Amino acid sequence: MRAGALLWLRNLPARYQEELEGLAEGAKIPLERRAELFYSEECDINQCSGVIYLSDNKVWVAGNNNTYMREL
């Protein structure tokens, strides 16, 4: 997954690259890590993403996937 994530990201349309760059910056994680998290769906079926993260007694829930649109 690590070997393919950045290559996959750089082949997306610019608006998706910018979105993932912004998500990584906002989450204060490396772009490579964010790309890996999104790219993981390439190893599974193409459906919506979902993430639940627990840290310091706080729960973060996220879900989204808008990259599998017909115009791609």
Q: Where are the domains of the chain?
A: 2-64
List, for residues 12-50, the tens digit of each pLDDT value.
999 989 998 998 899 898 999 888 888 876 665 555 666
As a whole number of angstroms, the distance between CA 58 and CA 4 comes to 32
Mean pLDDT of 4-17: 90
* Per-residue pLDDT, 38: 80
* Per-residue pLDDT, 45: 57
List, for residues 55-66, the tens digit of each pLDDT value.
888 888 776 666
- Tell whether pTM > 0.75: no
Instruction: Name the token pair of 20.
Output: 């993932």
Instruction: Name the token pair of 17.
Output: 């690259």
Residue 37: CB atoms within 10 Å? 19
* Per-residue pLDDT, 15: 92
